[in-house]
A and B are shown apart, each in its own frame.
Chain A
């Protein structure tokens, strides 16, 4: 388990209007099993996620963010 490959995925979100969404999204995405770390940047509305792409896909990450009530899409950098 400790040797699983993790990649860093950056999502850009829309409509961050108050900083309280930061902890909401972090907790919602952090609940996912194969997510090692998640960091939400309020000012630039980015979500940085370290995860095992084998076990949790980018689409699932986007879905988790949607569950917290926000629209996000993956970005190449």
Chain B
């Protein structure tokens, strides 16, 4: 109802237009009719009241039925209209009044509760910003949020909504990002940080350069995604749709046939009443809408009904080690010299210079450490050749330098005593969970550098909860060597470690477990594990808030970079699918019970309508349980200390003499 209209109307008029007016008036008349029947001998006044009650409650239904008929739709309204009119013609005034009254009450309750199941989406739409304060020619101008141009500067003051996606260009402030990530603890923002439309400033003052406006914001993408997901049909739904498509016409035909053969018009009309498919058609959609809405509130976007069903079956989860189980910011931990003519700085210098032309994730920590140690690394390599899965070969001042694993050393034809010494040092470092690389110059190993990454503090808890959520196998995938991977895997508690993988091996690992009958979820960053993500039954993107593509493509997008959201998502999928099954059971049982009741006697029109409406409400109420807030976190094991592979961060001082 529009604001203007509300203002014009008095309270009574508002109520009269509300959903409860019709059932209340017709209910009062039914009661009055009973009272007159007691007080007066003649049934005339009672009957008149009953008929009026039917007209009050049934009138709007007949109007709707007529509207539907004009657009050639045979709906539930028509069935109820025919049944009620028939009952009046037959003189069963009480039945007519009861059926229409119950139908009106049921409808009012349905629309109120059904809208509740959609509340999660409504809340998202409600946070969409409407106005923006833009800085134009030094003036603050208020404009509709959609009309801000990319690159313009908008101001975000304390308590206001961020109107666009953008980057903070000046100022500091705190934002409540709950609408995007589900996390309501405010996040500090300062110059260079990304901000999202629909988040709310809880303090400070920010100047934001707009990078995305209107439909091109993360919030709009989320809303779009949630809507598409809620509309996407689950596999189970195809069956239910087919069932209900046949159910109503079949009941109508049955009613006509039975009416003609048995001449029992009351039986035929009663059949019409229970021919409304009610609970059948909404049983699955309400669960899905509520489940997906619940997820969206918590920063978990699930692509749709089918994906919910698959997610509920997940029994194997693949996670990448680097960046998922670990922080993804490896640091140099060890430098070992194996050459008596070289000190550790010289080994580091060679390694850093060779890696200067590499984009490999392990190149950065080596270069950073060299810079921090004040080692002179000037002079780019003349030639750089990355060896996938092995390391890098570079030409430095005419020398052939190789930095990488022992497989690289072997393929470079390096052997001898130095090789064995390097092997021993590498094994020792790897057992400690560090990633060692041999450094060779002109066919001779000169030293070892090792890099390590911190295990994320919530990784062990995630694995524990995945197991608790029914996942049988948590598998860690990594390109790292076996020993390093094991050390990390043991700390995190994964069931299986697959080490030394090339990108294409990850895909094979996923396919292998699928072949064994597992339903596989794969968590990844979507860049170098895209094929594996696509092959997995469910591809999960983490920290998707910043990347529009991830929100649109991932089967499950976790908005926050929070490991514990993964078990939460799987738990939610299981609960939603269970909820759906319960609803289907309720709906089918109701149909069977009603049909049996009508055919074998006992169910009158009024009882039929009552059971029908109750079943609809039970199904909706059941789905609403999914929206209830439920903390998946259990108190134990919450504040576990961070598992740190190497917290020192400083170089170890081992300097090995060559053997």
The residues of A with any CB-CB pair to B shorter than 8 Å are 12, 14-20, 23-24, 27-28, 31, 41-46, 67-69, 71, 75-77
Question: Distance (Å) between the CB of B655 and the closest chain A CB?
Answer: 63
Closest 6 CB pairs of A and B: A27-B71, A20-B75, A44-B227, A77-B215, A43-B230, A41-B231
* Residue numbers in A under 8 Å from B228 (CB-CB): 44
Chain B: CB-nearest residue to A41? B231
B223 touches A77 (CB 8 A): yes
Please classify the interface of chain A as helix (H, G, I), strand (E, B), loop, or mixed, using the class held by over half of its residues. Answer: loop
B224 touches A77 (CB 8 A): yes
* Residue numbers in A under 8 Å from B427 (CB-CB): none
B115 touches A42 (CB 8 A): no
Stretch at the interface among B106-114, B387-395, B466-474, B632-640: B106-114
B76 touches A18 (CB 8 A): yes
Contact residues on B (Cβ < 8 Å of other chain), bracket: 35 or more
* Residue numbers in B under 8 Å from A23 (CB-CB): 71, 73
The residues of B with any CB-CB pair to A shorter than 8 Å are 1, 64, 67-68, 71-73, 75-77, 107, 110-111, 114-115, 118, 121, 125, 128, 146, 214-215, 220, 223-224, 226-228, 230-231, 278, 281-282, 285, 288-289
In whole angstroms, how far apart are the Cα atoms of A24 and B63 in the complex? Answer: 13
Total contacts A-B at CB 8 Å:
74
* Residue numbers in B under 8 Å from A41 (CB-CB): 227, 230-231
In whole angstroms, how far apart are the Cα atoms of A42 and B75 in the complex? Answer: 15
B285 touches A43 (CB 8 A): yes
A28 touches B118 (CB 8 A): no
B214 touches A24 (CB 8 A): no
Chain B: CB-nearest residue to A46? B227
The contact of A24 among B68, B107, B146, by CB within 8 Å, is B68
A44 touches B76 (CB 8 A): no
In whole angstroms, how far apart are the Cα atoms of A73 and B231 in the complex? Answer: 19
A20 touches B73 (CB 8 A): yes
* Residue numbers in A under 8 Å from B121 (CB-CB): 44
In whole angstroms, how far apart are the Cα atoms of A46 and B115 in the complex? Answer: 13
The contact of B72 among A12, A14, A27, A76, by CB within 8 Å, is A27
* Residue numbers in A under 8 Å from B114 (CB-CB): 15-17
* Residue numbers in A under 8 Å from B1 (CB-CB): 71
Chain A: CB-nearest residue to B109? A17
* Residue numbers in B under 8 Å from A14 (CB-CB): 115
11 A-B pairs with CB atoms under 8 Å apart are A14-B115, A15-B114, A18-B278, A20-B68, A20-B73, A23-B71, A23-B73, A24-B71, A27-B73, A43-B231, A44-B231
In whole angstroms, how far apart are the Cα atoms of A17 and B117 in the complex? Answer: 11
In whole angstroms, how far apart are the Cα atoms of A18 and B109 in the complex? Answer: 12
In whole angstroms, how far apart are the Cα atoms of A17 and B112 in the complex? Answer: 9
A12 touches B71 (CB 8 A): no
Most buried by A among B71, B226, B282: B71
A45 touches B75 (CB 8 A): no
In whole angstroms, how far apart are the Cα atoms of A44 and B68 in the complex? Answer: 21
* Residue numbers in B under 8 Å from A71 (CB-CB): 1
In whole angstroms, how far apart are the Cα atoms of A69 and B281 in the complex? Answer: 20
In whole angstroms, how far apart are the Cα atoms of A24 and B71 in the complex? Answer: 6
A19 touches B281 (CB 8 A): yes
Chain A: CB-nearest residue to B144? A76
Question: Distance (Å) between the CB of B499 and the closest chain A CB?
Answer: 44
In whole angstroms, how far apart are the Cα atoms of A18 and B278 in the complex? Answer: 7
In whole angstroms, how far apart are the Cα atoms of A68 and B114 in the complex? Answer: 19
Question: Distance (Å) between the CB of B148 and the closest chain A CB?
Answer: 13
Question: Distance (Å) between the CB of A17 and the closest chain B CB?
Answer: 5
Known contacts A12-B125, A44-B121, A44-B227, then 11 further A-B pairs from the complex at CB < 8 Å, ordered by chain A residue: A15-B114, A18-B76, A18-B281, A18-B282, A20-B68, A27-B71, A27-B73, A42-B231, A46-B227, A67-B67, A68-B67
Question: Distance (Å) between the CB of A9 and the closest chain B CB?
Answer: 13
